[in-house]
Every structure is written in structure tokens, then in C-alpha cells.
Chains A and B, each alone.
Chain A
Amino acid sequence: MKKFTDLRFIIGLFFSLTGLILLLSYFIAAESNHPELNLYAGGVMLTFGLVMLFLFYRGDAENA
């Protein structure tokens, strides 16, 4: 429950999921304008999301 009130977890979760959606869109969606943007932006967002989740879990472990 506590993790849902920690902003690092919320941001990490949101951008990880958004990044995954963009990557999936790149691999499975029909042809569209500049599809490579989904790949790059998805990669960046997924990485950012995972970093935020890592920071959350590291901080959580330190506080435990």
C-alpha cells in the first residue's frame, strides 16, 4: 500500500507502462508517420520509468 503513495513508484510505474505501450506500438502497429519515434521515445520512457522504480526500491530498502 505504501508504495502507491511514493511518487518515485508512481512515476516509475506510469512511464514503464507508457514506454512498453510505445515499444509494442512500434513492433505491432500498422505503418504510420515516423514509427521510429515510438521506438526511441518508448525506450527513453521505459528506461526512465525503470530508473525511478530502482530509486524507489533502493530508498525503500535503505529505510527498512
Chain B
Amino acid sequence: MHLSFPDYLIICLYFVVVSGVGFMIKFKIKTTNDFLMSGRNVPLWITSLAFISANLGAQEVIGMAASGAKYGIMTSHFYWLGAIPAMVFLGIFMMPFYYGSRARSVPEYLALRFDDKTRSLNAVAFAVMTIFSSGISLYALALLLKVILGWSFEFSVFTAAGIVLIYTFSGGLTSAVYNEVLQFFLIVLGIAPVVAIGLYEAGGWTGVSKNLPQAMVHTWKYMGSADDNAMGVNAWSMAMGLGFVMSFGYWCTDFLVVQRAMIARSMSAARRTPIIASFPKMMMPFIVIFPGLIAVALTNAHSGFSLPLKADGRTDFDMALPALIAHYYPSGLLGVGVTALLASFMSGMAGNVTAFNTVFTFDIYQAYIKKDGTDEHYLQVGKVATVFGILASIGTAYLTAGFNNLNDFLQLVFSFVNAPLFATFLLGMFWKRTTGHGAFCGLLFGTILAAAFHGLTVAEGKGGWLGGPIHTFHSGMGQAFGVATVAWVSCFVITIVVSLFTAPKEEKELEGLVYSLTPRLKDAKSPVLLAIAMIVLGLILNLIFF
């Protein structure tokens, strides 16, 4: 990929704008709340777009195009099934507790609802995961820039980390959120032209369909059996593993995304944030998955474009989107495309770092190290945590570069930790009898049993590290959904059993934290109709591509 002057000009303009945003916002930062929670005064349209942008990192953009090229439109399950229902559920049922409790973070909600040990378990696991995720994002950015621009690993890592440091250190969460929204528009406007020209060259959707195997242009038709589709997953496994456990576990409990709704100006806006965000979310497959399908269709049609190959001769699906951009974009628009990719990497990193500094400051430092500090003191701690988060991300990027399988290993561990979480929150919010001991044991043993299930099953040569496999999955994805389901069910059952044998909190302490003990909201702008509209739209999209 050869960049020229207009391309570099656009990249420089982006760097100047994001750094400038941080610098200007710095003057508005007076308190810890301003730095870590944006003063809880962010307009609805910004929180909504930031909500989905926080999840729109480069692994998502590049990875979804790669999945589109590998599995076809079935990848949209990660949106239409694996996001929309969970986002709507968060807005209708869970935000009233997150926002209404005035908790500053998800772990802090756990402290209010359960106890400190449940909070610490979640806070420490989350803090470690955000740092590693941020480092992996940085590593992936450096790899991509090396391939497409020829930049060295060191230059890419330190340039990206330096810019993220400038704007997150200066402007805190507000700056990160602003850049996430800017990145959202950059991705949409920067990638949409490649979809348009790709569809045009391929002869529209009819031409794309004609040049792809039928299983790649249907979402559900080939999911009757795991043998019939490239994902190796059947409809039940997809609905339970992805549509329920993984999706609700991520969208309803991950502080990185929930934080974007928690900084809204009012309860009403906080509830509508994930529901409004679900509309652009359901449209994202046309921007991030379609390029993958188009790339394969154009390759099969011998149109002059072909997907690049790896050194071992296999197709390099990860390069589907960058290859399309390099092939079709003229100088100028090429700069926009590269900037969109850069922005998505840096935004993903900034999102992780700003979630990390909040959890570290409120749930680790203030909770266990210094309880009675001044606001100025916690503001400084938040800033130091930001610098530490960036440095640790750089360290993780180098660690990932040094150990080939570290990325896969970490993703696996994260899945063990994340999978049981939704069971804990569901019981905590909707069953007042749930106790802190129950939640803690459920989370702990849910994670352990998830790991054990992975060790007793195999897929694509992975797993089975606990001895003779009890089951062989068709694909790694099927195994991941199975692990998540086992984690959720075991956490759910263990939490109930332990809760029944331990003493619950007084009902008075649970007001505003549990559904049955919280007065119903009289919201003039009830989001229920909006939520129904989003669910119906999601169903229509599923039917169109059935």
C-alpha cells in the first residue's frame, strides 16, 4: 500500500484533532468525577454512539470482515442475535439499577448489592483483562501497520500509545468518548465507499450471491446441523451460547461498554443509550461484514481483485478489508481508510485504558488502599493509573509479540472469566434472596468449571488438556459457545444453592438494587416502544437474510 501526500495529510489532521481534543478538554477537568466519569453530563447522542464505538475496535473491524470472508453473512449473528436483544435488555431492565444505585462502576454495583469480595474478584479480573486487551489491540495495530505501510513494530507501538496517552491523560473519559464518536463516523464514512464500489464491481448483491456458496449468504438456513455450515455451529448452540450467555454477559456486565451509558445526563438518557445504540449496531454488518463477502465474491469472479495469501499459501482472511481498500481507493480516500483503521485501534485502546483507570481508582485504590483521600488525591491517582495503563499495554504488546500463542491463551482465559458474570447479575438484580457468598462462589466455580469443560473437550486440535475428551466439537466457535453455556449454568445453579444456605442482606439495604424492592420508574420518555421497534427491526433483518 503506497501512501502519498493527501493520505499523510489526512492522517496528520486526525492526529492533530484527537490530541487537540484532549488538550482543550483538559481545562474542563476539575474533579475525579470529571476525569473518570465525564461529570455524568454527556448528551444522549454521544453516549449512544460511544456505547457501540467502545466495542468497535480494530479487531472488530478487521476481524468481522475476516469472518465475513470465512463464514459469510452468518457472521451477522454477532450483531442481530449477539448484540441487539442484550442491548435492549440492558436499557429496559438493568440500567435502572446501574444508574439508579449511583454506583460509579460495575464492580461498585457488586459491592453495594453483594459484598467487597465479589467486587474485588470482578474488579481485579476486569482490570487485568482491560490491560491485556489494550496491549493486544496495540500489538495488532503494529502488525497491521507493518504489513500495509511498512512501519516498524516499535514506531507503530510508541506512536499510537503516545497519542492515546496524550488525549486520555489530558481529557480523561470525555476525551476518549469524543474520539470514539469521531472514530465511529470515520469508520462508517471511510469504509462505506469500499462497500459501494465493491458491490458495484461485483454486480450488486445478486452478483455477490452468485459468486459465493449458498451457505455464505444465509443467516439461519444452514444452521440445522453443525455439519452444514462453515462455522460448525447449530442453531441451538448459536442461540444459547452466543445469543444468550456470551451476548448478555458482555453487553450487560462489561464495564467498558456499560460505562458509556452510566455517564449520561439522566436516568432516562442512560436507559435509552443502549437502545438507541442498537440501531447503528444492527446496521454495522453492512459496513464491517459485507467487505469480507465482497472480497470473496470478487476473488471467485476473477474480477482483477483477489484475496491475499499467507506465506503457507492459505488465504489471508484478516487482510480482506485492508486489501480491498488498497485495491480500490485512490490517494486521498486511501488516507481516510487507513485513518479509520488507525482510529479504531487507538480508540479500542483508549476505551480499555479509561475503563481500567476508573476501576483501579474506585474499586481497588479507594476501596482497599486509601479510603479517605481528598478528591484531588483520587484525581491524581486516576491520572497515574492512566499512565500505568498505557505503559502496561505497551509491555503486553511486546509480550504478545514474544509469545506466539499468548493472544489465543488470553482470549480463552477471558472467556472463562466473563461467561458466568451475567448469571450473577441476573440473580442479583431479580432475586433478592441472592447472597454475597452465593455470588462469589458462583463466579469462582463458574470460571473453574468453564476451564474444566474446555479441558475435557476438543475442537480443531484445541482443548482436551485434562485428559481423554468427553466431546469433540465441530469448530472452536462451537466449543467456545459450549464453554460459555457450562459456565453460565454452573454459576447460576451454584449461586442459588449457596444463597439458600447463607444469610441474605436486609431488604432495606437492597432498595434500588433489586427489582422487587425498587419502586417502578415513572419515566415520561419510556424506552419500551423504542425497544420493541429495535427488536422488530432486528427480526426483519434476520428474516431478509434467513
A22-B336, A25-B332 known; A48 and B189 CB under 8 Å?
Answer: yes
Residue of A nearest to B24 (CB): A4
Indicate if the CB atoms of A25 and B331 lie closer than 8 Å: yes
A18 and B479 alpha carbons, distance in the complex (Å): 45
Residues of B within 8 Å of A, CB-based: how many? 30
A21 and B14 alpha carbons, distance in the complex (Å): 13
A32 and B329 alpha carbons, distance in the complex (Å): 9
Indicate if the CB atoms of A21 and B28 lie closer than 8 Å: no
Q: How far is the CB of A30 from chain B (nearest CB, A)?
A: 8
Indicate if the CB atoms of A15 and B17 lie closer than 8 Å: no
| The stretch of B57-65, B178-186, B373-381 that contacts the partner chain | B178-186
A33 and B330 alpha carbons, distance in the complex (Å): 5
B residues near A32, Cβ cutoff 8 Å: 330-331
Is B155 on the interface with A (CB-CB < 8 A)? no
A residues near B46, Cβ cutoff 8 Å: 7
A17 and B10 alpha carbons, distance in the complex (Å): 9
Residues of A within 8 Å of B, CB-based: how many? 29
A1 and B28 alpha carbons, distance in the complex (Å): 11
Q: How far is the CB of A2 from chain B (nearest CB, A)?
A: 9
Indicate if the CB atoms of B178 and A18 lie closer than 8 Å: no
A22-B336, A42-B332 known; A17 and B13 CB under 8 Å?
Answer: yes
B residues near A18, Cβ cutoff 8 Å: 10, 13, 336
Q: B residues 7-22 with Cβ under 8 Å of A?
A: 9-10, 13-14, 17, 20-21
Q: Which of A14, A24, A34 is in CB contact (< 8 Å) with B197?
A: A34
Q: Mark A45-64, 1 if CB is under 8 A from B, else 0.
A: 10010000000000000000
Residue of A nearest to B9 (CB): A21
Q: How far is the CB of A44 from chain B (nearest CB, A)?
A: 7
Q: Give the A-binding residues of B (Cβ under 8 A).
A: 4, 6, 9-10, 13-14, 17, 20-21, 24-25, 27-28, 46, 178, 181-182, 185, 189, 193, 197, 327-333, 335-336
Q: Give the B-binding residues of A (Cβ under 8 A).
A: 1, 4-5, 7, 10-11, 13-15, 17-18, 21-22, 24-26, 29, 32-35, 37-38, 40-42, 44-45, 48
Give 7 A-B pairs besides A14-B14, A33-B329 with Cβ atoms closer than 8 angstroms.
A10-B17, A14-B13, A21-B10, A37-B330, A40-B193, A41-B189, A45-B336
9 interchain residue pairs of minimum CB distance: A25-B332, A32-B330, A4-B24, A25-B6, A38-B332, A22-B332, A41-B193, A35-B330, A14-B17
